């Protein structure tokens, strides 16, 4: 990416902030400063990520000041981003109502990452909101995003959570406030394009297309129809991301178009959770009463979101409406096959299959149907396929296991090679909801050791030997408890 006019390569603390997004048309951003907080205190700090970003170790007090928004780092040019979105299917104008972008950190390796403060105070887009965030919700984002990173799933990252010393009021009463520092490849979303398209500013739309392609899809340079090529590329990444979510039982919970990042990263960990007993109808979000964003609906919702993205680009696909719509429909229509290709490839790896046979999809589907009927634990079933028959007096599963073993015998790889492949793609541990909740409750009360231990375990999800030494993190939630519900934190 070319050097922007507003670049900053300040040496202090390792900060090398640039501001290429601020060079986009003015309708896409508003300058705004974080609102100072009373008593900032670092709750959790991601030392490894800080090192990857090239940030130098600073005193704890200095970190608290910077990552609460009380003091801007060298070279920062704070702004709130404008975007719209379809929320539960209904279009609305949005924007960063409680998030403030400090700039784009350039790593020692030359990579570019947004650094954003979430919960840093009101902005012009706050819509009568307080611009703040509760500590529990910010710690949830920290835990889940770092777990997703360890699972190998593209995700935004969490650099720090700083308690503000001030309460925020939500539907469940007063809660301790906090600011999360989120690191992302960018915060460009489908909703960013919806914002521009709604204003019918074709020059701004073309500038946004060029910027997004340059930042995330440089391989598209020279494409004959850049907007169409961008749509196809975003669709491909989202199809792959959905397959990865489905492969670990992740339920995002709020797949509005403003929560679909064009980089292909998972973004916005509000009412998210991990499914335990396999059921495609699984919903955790307290406000998703109709199950729009249920686990099994995620690929279809992603395609719906891609269709909304395509709609924003119609005027730049082709000067005539009918050919533009035809191009869009063809591109969007390819999403299903893209997802299926990534999903079955992921299932093959989880089953230890190195080659392809036509019946592999049915083999995986039969296992999932058995899991649904028996309410089997999704994560543990895949991790224990070799030994599960010894503990399951179930003729249906035994028959499936015999089919699976016969399939394995039709490939040249050894049992050891099959085991290595499976262990590399079947996590032994995930962020079990009751363990996450336990850690958040303790941390809100001022005790972070439970969360630190959880983070340590989640950092190595594919280390099966280590996981067997910590069975308490592999066990599903005790039966008989209340149905698990999550909240968005706004």
Q: For the chain, what is the largest distance between any 2 Cα atoms, rounded to a whole number of angstroms?
A: 68
Contacts of 264 by beta carbon, 8 Å cutoff, 6+ apart: 154, 216, 234, 237, 238, 240, 241
Query: How many C-alpha atoms does 228 have within 13 Å on its Cβ side?
Result: 18
As a whole number of Å, the end-to-end CA separation of the chain is: 35
Q: Which helix (H) or strand (E) holds 427?
A: none
DSSP 308-355: HHHHHTHHHH-SSHHHHHHHHHHHHHTHHHHHHHHHHHHHHHHHT--S
Cα(300)–Cα(288) distance, integer angstroms: 16
Measured N-to-C along each axis, helices 360-374 and 335-351 cross at an angle, to the nearest 10 degrees, of: 80
Residues 101 and 125 sit within 8 Å (Cβ to Cβ): no
Annotation marks residue 258 as catalytic: yes
Q: Which helix (H) or strand (E) holds 431?
A: none
Residues 73 and 13 sit within 8 Å (Cβ to Cβ): yes
Q: What is the dihedral of CA 224, 225, 228, 231, to 10 degrees?
A: 70
CA dist 92 → 192, 258, 431 (Å) = 12, 10, 32
Tokens representing 362?
Answer: 């049915």
Q: Is the dihedral of CA 287, 291, 292, 293 positive or negative?
A: positive
- Which of these is catalytic: 258, 268, 288, 377? 258
Residues serving a catalytic function are 258
């Amino acid at each position: 990416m070319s050097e922007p006019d507003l670049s900053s390569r300040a040496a202090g603390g390792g900060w090398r902030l640039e501001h290429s997004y601020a060079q986009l048309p003015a309708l896409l951003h508003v300058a705004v400063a974080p609102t100072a907080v009373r008593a900032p205190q670092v709750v959790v700090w991601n030392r490894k990520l800080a090192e990857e970003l090239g940030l130098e170790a600073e005193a704890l007090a200095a970190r608290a000041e910077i990552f609460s928004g009380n003091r801007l780092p060298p070279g920062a040019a704070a702004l709130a981003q404008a975007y719209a979105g379809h929320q539960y299917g209904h279009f609305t104008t949005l924007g960063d109502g409680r998030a403030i972008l400090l700039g784009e950190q350039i790593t020692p390796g030359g990579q570019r990452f947004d650094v954003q403060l979430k919960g840093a105070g009101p902005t012009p887009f706050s819509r009568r909101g307080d611009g703040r965030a509760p500590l529990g919700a910010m710690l949830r984002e920290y835990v889940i995003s770092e777990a997703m990173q360890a699972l190998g799933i593209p995700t935004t990252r969490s650099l720090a959570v700083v308690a503000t010393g001030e309460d925020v009021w939500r539907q469940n009463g007063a809660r301790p406030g906090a600011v999360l520092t989120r690191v992302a490849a960018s915060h460009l979303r489908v909703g960013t394009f919806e914002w521009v398209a709604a204003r019918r500013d074709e020059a701004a739309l073309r500038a946004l297309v060029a910027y997004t392609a340059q930042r995330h899809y440089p391989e598209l340079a020279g494409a004959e129809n850049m907007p169409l090529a961008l749509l196809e590329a975003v669709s491909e990444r989202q199809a792959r991301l959905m397959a990865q979510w489905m492969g670990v039982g992740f339920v995002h919970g709020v797949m509005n178009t403003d929560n679909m990042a064009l980089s292909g990263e998972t973004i916005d960990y509000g009412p998210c959770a991990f499914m335990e007993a396999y059921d495609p109808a699984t919903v955790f979000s307290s406000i998703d009463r109709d199950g729009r964003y249920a686990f099994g609906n995620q690929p279809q919702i992603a395609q719906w979101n891609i269709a909304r993205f395509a709609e924003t680009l119609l005027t730049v696909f082709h000067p005539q409406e009918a050919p533009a719509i035809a191009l869009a429909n063809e591109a969007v229509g390819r999403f299903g096959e893209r997802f299926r290709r990534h999903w079955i490839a992921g299932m093959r790896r989880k089953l230890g299959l190195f080659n392809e046979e036509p019946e592999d999809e049915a083999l995986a589907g039969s296992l999932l149907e058995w899991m649904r009927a028996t309410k089997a634990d999704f994560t543990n079933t895949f991790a224990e396929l070799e030994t599960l028959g010894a503990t399951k007096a179930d003729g249906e599963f035994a028959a499936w296991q015999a089919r699976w073993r016969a399939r394995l015998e039709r490939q040249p790889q050894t049992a050891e090679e099959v085991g290595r492949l499976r262990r590399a793609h079947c996590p032994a541990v995930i962020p079990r909801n009751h363990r996450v909740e336990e850690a958040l409750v303790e941390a809100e009360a001022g005790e972070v050791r439970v969360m630190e231990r959880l983070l340590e375990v989640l950092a190595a999800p594919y280390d099966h030997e280590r996981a067997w030494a910590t069975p308490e993190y592999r066990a599903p939630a005790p039966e008989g408890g209340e149905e698990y519900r999550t909240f968005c934190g706004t």
